[in-house]
Amino acid sequence: MRTLRLFIGLFAVVGLIFVSAGIGIFLHTRRFVATAVSVSGWLRRISGG
């Protein structure tokens, strides 16, 4: 039972970290989109490097 509780707790902690990261990236991206300059263009060619 103790091992099971440990695993459940671990899942919750990892989940919280991932959700926090997701929210952090979301807020960062939203801030970036709000301040970024938008320019238009088109793709010209594809190369291997």
Nearest approach, Cβ of residue 33 and other proteins (Å)? 7
Residues 11, 12, 17, 23, Cα dihedral to 10°: 120
Least separation in angstroms between CB 34 and other proteins: 10
Q: Give CA separation, 38 vs 9, 10, 13, 35, in Å.
A: 44, 42, 38, 10
**In angstroms, what is the minimal distance from the CB of 31 to other proteins?**
10
Is residue 16 close enough to count as binding other proteins by CB under 8 A?
Answer: yes
Binding site for other proteins (CB under 8 A): 1, 3-4, 8-23, 25-26, 29, 32-33, 35-49
